[in-house]
Structure 1
Amino acid sequence: MRLWSLHPSSLDRMALVACWREGLLAQRVLTGATRGYTRHPQLERFRAVAEPLDAIGHYLNAVRAEATARGYSFDGARVLRPDAAAPGIPVTSGQLGFELAHLRAKVALRDPSWLPRVPEIATPAPTFVERPGAIESWERGVPDS
């Protein structure tokens, strides 16, 4: 599961579609509708806010808005809390940089024509607020330094 902290406009087609699908799975996990992925580390930040379902609803709406702008048809009826306010979940600049490098590496292999559209400087998704810091503790697959 990859719930990108990056602004959805940075994501290529495959990342955007996967983000939508995985965001819907995260919503199911947060409602208790599935037994899988309940301990997934990326959900920690959504669980840390007062209203996790509002947070994932806001996140999914941001992904859907980008998809709509590109002419895709993501079913907004699947978002349980579509009118949720931005929760302002903190995300570190180190995490954003890590994700941007990760996205660039993926895009370079699967869709090089999209690479010029990936920004040089990471911008957070509307659900998140950037703060200084290293890669988040919940991130997996980070080489030891």
Structure 2
Amino acid sequence: MRIWSLHPRYLDRQGLTACWRETLLAQAVLEGATRGYTRHPQLERFRAASDPLGAIGDHLAGIAEEATARGYRFDGSKVHRRSTPAVRLEVTDGQLALEWEHLLRKLSVRSPELAARWSGIELPDPHPLFTVVDGPVASWERAAAP
């Protein structure tokens, strides 16, 4: 499961679709609607939010907005709840950098034109749910540091 902290604009079609599916799974886990993935480390940051279900819904909404902007039809009714007031989670610049390198490696194989387009960016914009703060890779991250 990869729930990207970076803005969904950077994802290729496959990445955007996978992030949508995986974040829907995360929503189901947080709702208690599935027994799988309940201990997945990516969910720690959402569980720690003041409104975990609202935060995951806000993440899904950001993905759906990007999909709509690209002309895709992601079913927005699958977003069960948004936060009110809006929740903002923190992501460290170290975590964002790790995810960026991870994404660029994936794009270089399956979408080289996008990898070339984004290659000059040192640190990408975060998903609208996140505010960037200084810090290392997150403690819940299981991918190897770049």
Same fold (TM over 0.5): yes
Q: Which residue of 1 aligns with 2:116?
A: 116
- How many residue pairs match? The answer is 144
Provide closer, same or farther for how the CA distance between residues 132 and 74 of structure 1 changes in structure 2, counting only shifts above 3 A: same
- Retained in 2: the 8 A contact 1:55–1:84? no
Q: Which residue of 2 aligns with 1:65?
A: 65
**Secondary structure, in 3 states, of the residue corresponding to 2:35?**
coil
RMSD, aligned α-carbons:
1.6
How far, CA to CA, are the matches of 1:23 and 1:78 in structure 2?
11
Alpha-carbon distance, 1:55 to partner: 0.1
TM-score (norm 1): 0.94
Q: How does 1:38-77 map to 2 (within 5 A)?
A: 38-77=38-77
Provide closer, same or farther for how the CA distance between residues 73 and 46 of structure 1 changes in structure 2, counting only shifts above 3 A: same
Is residue 137 of structure 2 the alignment partner of residue 132 of structure 1? no
How far, CA to CA, are the matches of 2:126 and 2:86 in structure 1?
12
After superposition, the C-alpha distances for 1:68-123 in whole angstroms (9 at most, x for unaligned) are 00000000011101465431111000000000000000000011111133361221
* Alignment gaps of 5+ in structure 1: none
Provide closer, same or farther for how the CA distance between residues 59 and 85 of structure 1 changes in structure 2, counting only shifts above 3 A: farther
Alpha-carbon distance, 1:141 to partner: 2.6
Q: How does 1:71-110 map to 2 (within 5 A)?
A: 71-82=71-82, 84-110=84-110
* Alignment gaps of 5+ in structure 2: none
AA aligned to 2:36 is G
- Retained in 2: the 8 A contact 1:4–1:19? yes
- Retained in 1: the 8 A contact 2:53–2:83? no
Q: Which residue of 2 aligns with 1:25?
A: 25
How far, CA to CA, are the matches of 2:59 and 2:42 in structure 1?
13
Provide closer, same or farther for how the CA distance between residues 76 and 83 of structure 1 changes in structure 2, counting only shifts above 3 A: farther
How far, CA to CA, are the matches of 1:73 and 1:36 in structure 2?
27
Q: Which residue of 1 aligns with 2:144?
A: 142
Provide closer, same or farther for how the CA distance between residues 17 and 57 of structure 1 changes in structure 2, counting only shifts above 3 A: same
